[in-house]
Copies of this chain bind each other. A is one copy, B any other.
Amino acid sequence: MSAKKTEIEIYDTTLRDGAQSRGINFSLEDKVRITKRLDDFGVHFIEAGWPDSNPTDGEYFKRIKKHKIKNARIVAFGRTRAKGRTCAKDATIQALLRAEPDALTIFGKSWDLQAEQVLKVSLKENLKIISDTVKYLKKKGFFVLYDAEHFFDGYISNAGYAVDTIMAAADAGADRIVLCDTNGGSLPSFIAALVCEAVSKTGAVIGVHAHNDSELAVANTLAAVEAGATHVHGTINGYGERAGNANLCSIIPNLMLKMNFKCIPKKNLARLRELARFVCELANVPMPGNLPYVGDYAFTHKAGAHMDAMKKMAHSYEHIKPLLVGGSTGTVVSDVSGRSNVIELAGQLGIDITGDAHKRTVRAVLKELKELGYGGYRFEGAEGSFELLVRKHLGVRKEFFSLEGFRVVVDKRASEKIYSEATIRIEVPDGKEFMVAEGNGPVDALDNALKKALLRFYPSLGEMRLIDYKVRVLDERDGTAASVRVLITSTDGKGVWGTVGVSENVIQASWKALVDSIEYKLLKDGL
């Protein structure tokens, strides 16, 4: 082992290729929140979208400039120029420039048949398209990554030509050449051999972009790294079209803990599980319990013989210490089950509960988290609710109001507009308040009524706005009725925060999340 570890660049494409997953559609706000988390975590590149493919992606590149991104380069994705058109006159290319990202990834054809049958250009013309596009973007001053689409299939079809395409990109000055196993059908040994050849022939920094169609995406990525690739593409939880992309949540710990490479800052690895769950919540899809490293069952033992051996020898059935990736042995329902996680997460929110003085508080928080976790609560994406919970146990949570009751009515007549109104009765500092409001649906009406009732005492609530609302039905367990978990995202124009509520009744769950959101805002304002 060398004294200095090789660094492998992590290129996250959750927001672009991951968003190709069936059932996953990120909102603009989701994209911004995930970008900030990935940046905090320490990935090197964040591929955020295709500027001219849809309005959300276009808007994203404007919005993200208002945020401070500390480590990562924000990447826009697009294709090489269209045939018979110059880059200057290609609308897609121009949209890439206008997005003003930190880096650009463009994909081109490495497979001879694809160039001829899909692009309908000659092989020679295809090389010129690649070369022209890279040169043009480099001249415009961009950091350019070239995605060699179908490189491995292309090599089987016409090895010499596939290599010519990446030589064209390298000669034109591409900063990274990424070999894509677009169809996910290649085997590790083949990937390794071709990465070797690409490294030696181009002299460029070679990357790999793998898909999981053969359940080999992680292995193919590691094989590429062993063969000399130093740049890897993937997504959080392996999200992506068909069987998904290479899963960064497995690749990163494998590279760092088992192969001794450097990727993200070492101390951040313990936040892997938290990151995985955060993205999962915003994607609004269930988290498979058996996901390696980050799933609820990743370190959970069912066999009696295993549990017994674990007692006698702690690492009997664990391939790594779970804490290294933010997990814990036997984690089942609670997402933040260790003391250190609680302290760490509170620290991130600016609450110091380290040291002996806070031992009891940490224990109490942990106990409540476990109980809530069992009831279906998850706090990823709901930092607001988590902070309120910690503050409650620190004895510094305040009650701003208390509920006497509410009623929501939704009315619809044949073709007329639907109408939602809520009445609410709360106790406030100087007595009782009774208020009515309407809204786009019962939760919105309730939110409006509550804010209207409180505005006289807390004028800053006027700045608040609900920007996302997600509902998830939880599994039925042991004959009890199904619960729903509601995740609310709010903003006051300065910050964005998430809160959570769980109940058998969706309005009740929403109410809990709403109340947390308002309390959190008042707390932030120092009230």
Of the residues B27, B113, B313, B507, contact of A475 by C-beta under 8 Å: B27
Tell me the smallest distance from the CB of A340 to a CB of chain B, in Å: 13
Contact B244 A118 (CB under 8 A): no
Name the interface size band of chain A. Answer: 35 or more
Known: A219-B216, A471-B470, A507-B420. A55 touches B185 (CB 8 A): no
Contact B405 A412 (CB under 8 A): yes
Contact A182 B317 (CB under 8 A): yes
Contact B222 A218 (CB under 8 A): no
Q: Does A94 make an interface contact (CB < 8 A)?
A: no
Q: Does A403 make an interface contact (CB < 8 A)?
A: yes
Contact B412 A511 (CB under 8 A): yes
Could you say which residues of chain B place their CB within 8 Å of the CB of A125? none
Q: Does A414 make an interface contact (CB < 8 A)?
A: yes
Closest to A55 in B: B477
Query: Considering the chains assembled together, what is the distance between the CA atoms of A187 and B253 in angstroms?
Result: 12
Of the residues B295, B297, B470, B484, contact of A284 by C-beta under 8 Å: B470
| In the complex, chain A residues 277-335 whose Cβ is within 8 Å of any chain B Cβ | 284, 288-293, 295, 297-303, 305-306, 308-309, 312-313, 315-320, 332, 335
Of the residues B20, B22, B150, B317, contact of A381 by C-beta under 8 Å: B22
Query: Considering the chains assembled together, what is the distance between the CA atoms of A315 and B413 in angstroms?
Result: 52
Could you say which residues of chain B place their CB within 8 Å of the CB of A402? 414
Known: A188-B188, A405-B412. A241 touches B418 (CB 8 A): no
Contact A441 B505 (CB under 8 A): yes
Query: Considering the chains assembled together, what is the distance between the CA atoms of A319 and B241 in angstroms?
Result: 13
Could you say which residues of chain B place their CB within 8 Å of the CB of A335? 54
Closest to A240 in B: B290
Could you say which residues of chain B place their CB within 8 Å of the CB of A184? 292, 319
Tell me the smallest distance from the CB of A83 to a CB of chain B, in Å: 14
Closest to A294 in B: B243
Q: Does A407 make an interface contact (CB < 8 A)?
A: yes
Cβ contacts A229-261/B at 8 Å (1 or 0 each): 000000000100111100100100110001100
Known: A189-B226, A474-B27. A420 touches B22 (CB 8 A): no
A166-174, A207-215, A387-395: which lies at the interface: A207-215
Known: A117-B312, A241-B301, A317-B182. A187 touches B222 (CB 8 A): yes
Contact B472 A114 (CB under 8 A): no
Q: Does A56 make an interface contact (CB < 8 A)?
A: yes
Cβ contacts A180-210/B at 8 Å (1 or 0 each): 0011110111000000000000000000000
Query: Considering the chains assembled together, what is the distance between the CA atoms of A95 and B168 in angstroms?
Result: 68
Of the residues B254, B284, B288, B318, contact of A183 by C-beta under 8 Å: B318
Cβ contacts A461-476/B at 8 Å (1 or 0 each): 0000001111111110
Q: Does A482 make an interface contact (CB < 8 A)?
A: yes
| In the complex, chain A residues 131-153 whose Cβ is within 8 Å of any chain B Cβ | 150
Q: Does A159 make an interface contact (CB < 8 A)?
A: no
Q: Does A21 make an interface contact (CB < 8 A)?
A: yes
Query: Considering the chains assembled together, what is the distance between the CA atoms of A71 and B23 in angstroms?
Result: 41
Could you say which residues of chain B place their CB within 8 Å of the CB of A441? 484, 505-508
Contact A241 B303 (CB under 8 A): yes
Could you say which residues of chain B place their CB within 8 Å of the CB of A10? none
Contact A114 B309 (CB under 8 A): yes
Could you say which residues of chain B place their CB within 8 Å of the CB of A507? 410, 412, 418, 420, 441-442
Q: Does A411 make an interface contact (CB < 8 A)?
A: yes
Q: Does A380 make an interface contact (CB < 8 A)?
A: yes
Of the residues B404, B407, B467, contact of A411 by C-beta under 8 Å: B407
Cβ contacts A93-119/B at 8 Å (1 or 0 each): 000000000000000000001100110
Of the residues B117, B254, B297, B414, contact of A404 by C-beta under 8 Å: B414
* 22 A-B residue pairings within 8 Å (CB atoms): A22-B300, A22-B302, A22-B381, A23-B380, A118-B308, A182-B317, A187-B254, A213-B293, A214-B254, A214-B319, A215-B219, A215-B250, A241-B297, A241-B301, A242-B300, A284-B470, A407-B411, A408-B408, A409-B410, A441-B506, A443-B506, A470-B472
Assuming A184-B319, A469-B484, A471-B471, what are 14 further A-B pairs, CB within 8 angstroms? Answer: A117-B313, A183-B315, A188-B222, A216-B218, A284-B470, A407-B412, A408-B411, A409-B409, A410-B505, A412-B508, A418-B508, A420-B507, A442-B506, A470-B472
Question: What 10 pairs across the A-B complex have the smallest Cβ distances?
Answer: A185-B319, A219-B219, A441-B506, A215-B250, A471-B471, A408-B410, A243-B292, A183-B319, A405-B413, A215-B218
